[in-house]
Structure 1
Amino acid sequence: MSGGNELALRHERLRQRAAMLARLRGFFAERGFLEVETPVVDAEIIPELHIEPFGVGDASHKQAFGFLQASPELHMKRLLCEGLPAIFQVTRSFRYGERGAIHNPEFTMVEWYRTGDGMAAGMQLLDELCQAVAGSSVATRTTYAEAFRTHAGVDAHHANCAELAAAAKRLHVAVPEGIHADDRDEWLNLLLADVVEPRLGADWPEILYDYPATQSALAVTATRADGTLVGERFELYWHGIELANGYHELTDAAALRTRLEEVNRQRSADNRPALPLPERLLAAMADPGLPACSGCALGFDRLAMLAGGATTIDDVMAFTW
């Protein structure tokens, strides 16, 4: 392709991206959502096991101010605690060390919350948004257990570490040297990334839900009819790429503190720094309280890439790192 044609395609994709953003804002406006803006720098952050934040300081490196936020979650939930019932945000998010065909350290995230919604309503809203914004087909819904049974041949909720390790060997999965062999979630994450995820949403979007309770993160847990305890968490995949991550949100401040402290404990065990807890969010969740709600975060660059037929998010971003 000549230089002139490449430039024309680049500009057309930027116009398509802008049109998608306009449709997205219209989608939320039609449903009574308020668009909000929250800080991208804060002294507090929500610690996550597999995400490293950027620290922010002055030019002399003598004073630290906080972190570039990996998600607007901690601020948006404080707005929910204040009484706003349905909010969304289009923001820049930052994650250290992430660069590749579908990763950039700075990227566009769309995040939203609506009070009164459980997991089913959260999945439905996500599905409707993708149809309206990207022109996608109706998403199929698959439980985490079904996906592992179909693609990996294991019982994700009950298999022990030895059985999961055997499945990895049978499926010719390369096992990293640093894996904790006695950690079920590490084996599950390995199988998910190498075996299950690439097969999800092959023809149309697919929502994976009912994760193992040990992977609930910031979601509530629930017991299904067969007695299995699950995390009410859902993720959207399209062409094997994760696009969105949602929760029936945990509203108990004490339980959230316990989970975040455990994340920091695991970070410390891996020789990574513990991170400051979002104390103002935890205080607001305790009083006046976080209403029952569902929330979801969507990687907009990835959605624009797939909707526009591109092969990398670089093709749909004006500039990248």
Structure 2
Amino acid sequence: MTDWTPTTSHTARLARAALLKTIRHFFDARGVLEVDTPLLSQATVTDVHLDAFNTTFAHAAGPDAQTLWLQTSPEYAMKRLLCADSGPIYQICKAFRHEGAGRFHNPEFTMLEWYRPGFDHHALMDEVDELLVATLQCDRAERLTYQQAFQRHVGIDPLTARQDQLITALDTHQIDIDAPDTLPRDSLLQLLFSMVAEPLMGQQTPVMIYSFPASQAALARVNQTDPRVADRFEVYFKGIELANGFFELGDASEQRQRFNQDNQQREANQLPQRPADERLLSALDHGLPDCAGVALGIDRLLILATGASAIDEVLNFPVSRA
């Protein structure tokens, strides 16, 4: 067997160490506390587009067997810390998503996630911009609304386009799928955005896309001025999706409703339902401070910092050699 060797060069390993040092210095200088939360949890995400790994905990000396989940992100636990008056916090940790390995994704990856009480998503975009300049020595990011980016690259208005116009756009951009008329509107939008717009965005400088459709709010607030959109942003650079941020939803009842809606969609898609995270909901009932949060892929950031062409070049042992 010859595949025992790492897929990184020693130069890449040095670059990772330097990048982590720069990130920690960045947050230390701003008074943001580094924290640690469990990777194994009794709850997981309900998001239709995320699939989590699970394992059975059945130690002879413990309680009855229970399912534990490897976390897709430390978000829920970090929000519980925020509700317990942690103040601004960040975490660098492993995250796990049950998705196919590819050029920019490994099922186990390293995530940077941070939360800023008192910030909205625009203030957090400013800080993300500063971090990118510090780590990549790049120019300041361009900012576009989702609507502007969609119109620029796809050629239609995503907030007003009818179902038939979205299906026509698939043909225009030579996206061939079976039975597009059976897909919900959001799936058509996401298909067009990911296959047409994303590869073209941020080729010279990073780009921050904000004001996503409210139907794609995830854990973000719906915008108070324009209820068609959510206070959410994503960051792209050289065709790579790098970060996903929110002006965080703090309403426990609305969050429970979104969990329920996720599970209804899961059922419609013949996917297993996931229980709502009751500890998170209890924490939100106690009170989440007004804050913004963002998750950023460290491995993808390292690809950009080193000029690598794929994630395997910055991981010592990707899943194929784990």
Return the TM-score normalized by structure 1. Answer: 0.93
For 1:236-247, list aligned pairs within 5 A.
236-247=235-246
Contact 2:8-2:316 at 8 Å conserved across structures:
no
Aligned to 1:158, which of 122, 138, 160?
160
Contact 2:117-2:292 at 8 Å conserved across structures:
yes
1:10-31 C-alpha deviation (Å, 9 max, x unpaired) = 0001101110100000000011
For 1:186-201, list aligned pairs within 5 A.
186-201=187-202
Determine if the alignment matches structure 1 residue 16 to structure 2 residue 15. Answer: yes
Determine if the alignment matches structure 1 residue 206 to structure 2 residue 204. Answer: no
In 2, Cα distance between equivalents of 1:286 and 1:53? 26
Contact 2:6-2:316 at 8 Å conserved across structures:
no
Give, in angstroms, the shift of residue 229 of structure 1. 2.3
Give, in angstroms, the shift of residue 269 of structure 1. 1.3
Q: Which amino acid aligns with 1:169?
A: D
Contact 1:223-1:229 at 8 Å conserved across structures:
no
Runs of 4+ off more than 6 Å: 6-9
Q: Which amino acid aligns with 1:96?
A: H
For 1:169-184, list aligned pairs within 5 A.
169-175=171-177, 177=178, 179=180, 181=182, 183-184=184-185
In 1, Cα distance between equivalents of 2:308 and 2:182? 38
Contact 1:223-1:230 at 8 Å conserved across structures:
no
Corresponding residue of 2:43: 44
1:104-123 C-alpha deviation (Å, 9 max, x unpaired) = 01000000001010011011
Q: Which amino acid aligns with 1:200?
A: M
Corresponding residue of 2:259: 260
In 1, Cα distance between equivalents of 2:39 and 2:176? 37
In 1, Cα distance between equivalents of 2:247 and 2:8? 40
The residue matched to 1:222 in structure 2 has which SS? coil
Contact 1:157-1:228 at 8 Å conserved across structures:
no
For 1:25-174, list aligned pairs within 5 A.
25-58=24-57, 63-174=65-176
Structure 1 window deviating more from structure 2 (184-193 vs 8-17): it is: 8-17
Contact 2:6-2:317 at 8 Å conserved across structures:
no
Determine if the alignment matches structure 1 residue 286 to structure 2 residue 285. Answer: yes
Give, in angstroms, the shift of residue 65 of structure 1. 3.2
Q: Which amino acid aligns with 1:254?
A: S
Give, in angstroms, the shift of residue 276 of structure 1. 1.6
Give, in angstroms, the shift of residue 84 of structure 1. 1.2
1:84-125 C-alpha deviation (Å, 9 max, x unpaired) = 110000000001133011110100000000101001101111
In 1, Cα distance between equivalents of 2:7 and 2:278? 48
In 2, Cα distance between equivalents of 1:43 and 1:58? 10
1:163-213 C-alpha deviation (Å, 9 max, x unpaired) = 1111111121122x3656352111100100110101111111100110011
Aligned residues with identical type, % of pairs: 41
Return the TM-score normalized by structure 2. Answer: 0.92
Corresponding residue of 2:313: 315
Instruction: Give aligned pairs, total.
Output: 311
In 2, Cα distance between equivalents of 1:309 and 1:105? 22
Corresponding residue of 2:220: 219
Give, in angstroms, the shift of residue 59 of structure 1. 8.4
In 1, Cα distance between equivalents of 2:23 and 2:35? 14
In 1, Cα distance between equivalents of 2:175 and 2:183? 17
Q: 1:87 to 1:7 in 2, by over 3 A?
A: closer
Corresponding residue of 1:3: none
Give, in angstroms, the shift of residue 136 of structure 1. 2.1
Unaligned runs of 5+ in 1: 1-5
Give, in angstroms, the shift of residue 47 of structure 1. 1.4
Contact 1:144-1:209 at 8 Å conserved across structures:
yes
Give, in angstroms, the shift of residue 318 of structure 1. 1.5
Q: 1:85 to 1:191 in 2, by over 3 A?
A: same
Unaligned runs of 5+ in 2: none
In 1, Cα distance between equivalents of 2:78 and 2:33? 11
Determine if the alignment matches structure 1 residue 229 to structure 2 residue 228. Answer: yes
The residue matched to 2:150 in structure 1 has which SS? helix
In 2, Cα distance between equivalents of 1:283 and 1:63? 24
The residue matched to 2:92 in structure 1 has which SS? strand
Q: Which amino acid aligns with 2:266?
A: R
Q: Which amino acid aligns with 1:33?
A: V
Give, in angstroms, the shift of residue 63 of structure 1. 3.3
Q: Which amino acid aligns with 2:168?
A: A
Determine if the alignment matches structure 1 residue 296 to structure 2 residue 294. Answer: yes
In 2, Cα distance between equivalents of 1:22 and 1:178? 49
Q: Which amino acid aligns with 1:211?
A: F
Give, in angstroms, the shift of residue 64 of structure 1. 3.6
